[in-house]
Copies of this chain bind each other. A is one copy, B any other.
């Protein structure tokens, strides 16, 4: 399936070695001012060869007589009965260019409409990890500093480090680890953490299209991903309920108004599949790149044992370049969810008010953390400040 989304639909095209790659966006709201400058920066951040940690591709001289281990060569052959003429075909990470372009458009809408900010950064390389992960097995939950950092990290602080890890000390160690892999003709994996701030409330659909389910789907569709966790994630499974529950508290919004929020945020900004207005944050695991230059014992398509040595230069670690792709997929998920919720809200706003019930916020008010309470029959829209 080359199309993603229901309202804001993105269809990508292009392969690893074909003439062009790109995307069609269908269903973009009218009135969004767009120039190339809205899209190019994220494409630039995704581009290969940005530093000595990510290397220009030169795949032409690898042999084709063996299916590359842990690549899609064999499974595509099983699926289609045909081999792509070269490289990974549609399984190539080059396909993500179209995603990044489309994500930049969605991101601009979310920024202008809600002030939404999406920031992804590298949280671990191999066993070199930001504190969240190191200490996770003691406490089972993200550390306070980590959660605090999620509220302040910017794309600028991320890009200040070649590794795209905003913690300078950890970043140094990560750089060493990547260079070590590079010099050994080896590769190493890592994790990307993504935070979304100023999220409109009410996004996500009951049952099958819970917001975290859509995010997981989007993230696991990025090449080389193997794992996804939201909020406290796997670590949180170890924390008893009385510590894990996020108590409701009154908060003061940016404009001084009172809003309902949560004291902790182990839920990761989503409860019952629906965004509650707190920061959404999640973590994605990327495996060590399958393409390495050392010799590997393997077996050919016809069952002949041999050794595969992929010459040329390849990224020893993909997570730095993966950050704009993660941001793009997050933007696409939120954009689509926002439009579905906008349809519901603005439809509801056209109806006469229902008789009040004690627990119902009269008349269809949309409270948002940090934002002004908005009556939807005036505005029919979720909004953050």
Determine if A348 is an interface residue (Cβ-Cβ < 8 Å): yes
Q: Is the CB of A209 within 8 A of B1?
A: yes
Q: Which of B82, B288, B292, B338 contacts A347 (CB 8 A)?
A: B338
A114 CB contacts on chain B under 8 angstroms: 350
Q: Which of B188, B227, B274, B345 contacts A75 (CB 8 A)?
A: B274
Complex Cα gap A285–B229 (Å): 8
Residue of B nearest to A288 (CB): B241
Determine if A205 is an interface residue (Cβ-Cβ < 8 Å): yes
A359 CB contacts on chain B under 8 angstroms: 64-65, 77, 83, 301
Q: Is the CB of A90 within 8 A of B206?
A: yes
CB distance from A84 to the nearest CB of B (A): 10
Q: Is the CB of A276 within 8 A of B237?
A: no
Most chain B CB atoms below 10 A, which of A186, A344, A380:
A344
Complex Cα gap A304–B111 (Å): 33
A3 CB contacts on chain B under 8 angstroms: 3, 9, 11, 26, 208
Q: Which of B6, B126, B247, B303 contacts A6 (CB 8 A)?
A: B6
Q: Which of B32, B242, B244 contacts A287 (CB 8 A)?
A: B244
Complex Cα gap A98–B187 (Å): 43
CB distance from A78 to the nearest CB of B (A): 4
Q: Which of B24, B124, B213, B338 contacts A11 (CB 8 A)?
A: B24
Q: Is the CB of B26 within 8 A of A234?
A: no
Q: Is the CB of B216 within 8 A of A228?
A: yes
Q: Is the CB of B366 within 8 A of A78?
A: yes
In the complex, which residues 101-157 of chain A have their Cβ closer than 8 Å to any Cβ of chain B?
109, 112-114, 124, 126-127, 137, 140
CB distance from A162 to the nearest CB of B (A): 19
A244 CB contacts on chain B under 8 angstroms: 70, 189, 287-288, 290
A274 CB contacts on chain B under 8 angstroms: 72, 75-76, 78-79
Task: Identify the stretch in A37-45, A49-57, A265-273 within 8 Å (CB) of chain B at 4 or more residues.
Answer: A265-273
**What is the oligomeric copy number?**
4
Determine if A17 is an interface residue (Cβ-Cβ < 8 Å): no
Complex Cα gap A346–B7 (Å): 13
Complex Cα gap A342–B338 (Å): 12
A287 CB contacts on chain B under 8 angstroms: 232, 236-237, 244, 266
Complex Cα gap A182–B37 (Å): 48
Q: Nearest 7 pairs between A and B by C-beta?
A: A72-B272, A187-B241, A189-B237, A75-B274, A227-B229, A113-B350, A217-B217
Q: List 28 interface pairs A-B (beta carbons < 8 Å), by A numbering.
A: A2-B206, A11-B24, A13-B24, A29-B347, A31-B351, A33-B354, A69-B247, A70-B267, A75-B202, A76-B272, A77-B360, A79-B204, A79-B344, A80-B348, A82-B354, A88-B272, A89-B206, A186-B240, A189-B236, A216-B219, A234-B234, A237-B287, A247-B297, A250-B299, A301-B359, A339-B344, A342-B343, A350-B383
Given A29-B344, A31-B80, A72-B271: 13 more A-B contacts, CB < 8 Å: A3-B3, A7-B343, A12-B207, A31-B353, A33-B354, A72-B273, A81-B360, A81-B361, A126-B237, A187-B242, A212-B226, A247-B297, A260-B301
